[in-house]
Amino acid sequence: MARHSKPTTASLFWPVTREVQKADFEFDANGGVLCAVNFKSRVSSKKFPEDSADDKLLIMSMVLYCSDHAAPCKNSLLYFKWMAVEMEEYYQQGDLERKLNFSVSPFFDRATCNPFKFQLGYIDVIAMPLYETWSEFKPAFRE
């Protein structure tokens, strides 16, 4: 009688790594917003996902995009800690731009930027539409 063995963690490492790298490249090459627009279009087609490599890659790319924008979904204490670190990173870039006599990027000027207004815009424009689309695809994520 032939024995069938389960794949080991080691035997799955490189195939899984290659797929994650493809998803990451797809995400970086097309930009997260384009990835999200394509995903929303595919979800609304009601024929999604099909058992294709393209659909699997799109789903993996969206998982990466969602994880990049997950901070507003965390409890308030964690979110505000993340927000402070994120805004400081932006302010440091703005400080460097000013020092090099470049025009300071919008929202990166610590003297004029209101971080709470910035975050509200980020949630309204990026995070909410992203997670609404994701929860349309996976209703279990609505809560």
Residue 111: per-residue pLDDT:
94
Q: What is the pLDDT of residues 36-48, one digit of tens each?
A: 888 888 888 878 8
Question: Which of 119, 56, 52 is closest to 85 using CA atoms?
Answer: 119
How do residues 73-84 score in pLDDT, each as one tens digit? Answer: 999 999 999 999
The DSSP letter of residue 106 is: T
Q: What is the pLDDT of residues 47-104, one digit of tens each?
A: 888 888 888 888 888 888 888 889 999 999 999 999 999 999 999 999 999 999 999 9
Using pLDDT thresholds of 50, 70 and 90, give the confidence band for residue 138: confident
Q: What percent of the chain has pLDDT over 90?
A: 40
How much is the pLDDT for 1? Answer: 46
In sequence order, what DSSP letters do the residues of 8-76 get, joined into one string?
PHHHHHHHHHHHHHHHHHHHHHH-HHHHHHHHHHHHHTS--S-SSHHHHHHHHHHHHHHHHT-GGGS-H
